Structure 1
Amino acid sequence: PCRVILSGGQPYLVRVYLGHWRGWRLYVHRFLVPDGERWLHDHPFDGLAVVLCGGYIEEVLPALGAEPRGFRRRWFNWIPQRKLHRISSVQPGTWTLFVNGPHSKRWGFLEPIETEDGSVSWLYHNP
């Protein structure tokens, strides 16, 4: 089946479910826009995205207290479940083959919080 995933009430991703095997699921994704939320997030599963056409920029937090770094993804992207990231830019016509493993935790979000002295702290939460 095909689903349109919304973010902020707007179409974000077209997802086509292809099947599953031993807890692993296979999808084709068509990215319409970057991730809608400004927060970095992690996934409840390990995953692999193979870029079929197009590409995207992924912001990744290498360590707590570090600044997010941008990486251009044109071929593939390994996404372990604790990788804090977000897609910040998408080329038009970007399609990926996405495989994810079994769920072993909840989604996590890293919220930036500005402190009184102007620096930024981070709050990690699982809604």
Structure 2
Amino acid sequence: MAKTFLIPANKIRQIIDSNAGCLATDRITIDGSRVGWMYRSDASRPEDSGWRFFAGDESESYMADTSNHNVYSVNTIAKYDPSIVPYLDSPVGSAYERLPDMQDFIRVDGWDSADSA
């Protein structure tokens, strides 16, 4: 089944100076949810930024279905939710959460990306 993205590819303009990749869920790119949870892990390949973006309400079973997430350029996800841009230079191991009633992210200390693998 073909996906219908909230923002068509021809409407994605460059807003950050990077072509690095990331993982993001359909809750963001299809459903239009804001990023509610993001973390940066070690890159899995040279073109990977290590960033992983979620709406924050994805269940384990949702994530287990690989058709519910994909690899995108970080720029694409920044176009969907520009509020992530100030955090993109954060080091590996960084994690941020945005609660439903918040505009900004809060840093999640003591979180280990190995816990999510």
Common fold by TM > 0.5: no
Alignment TM class, shorter chain as reference: under 0.3
Larger radius of gyration: 1
Greater strand share, structure number: 1
Q: TM-score, normalised by structure 2?
A: 0.24
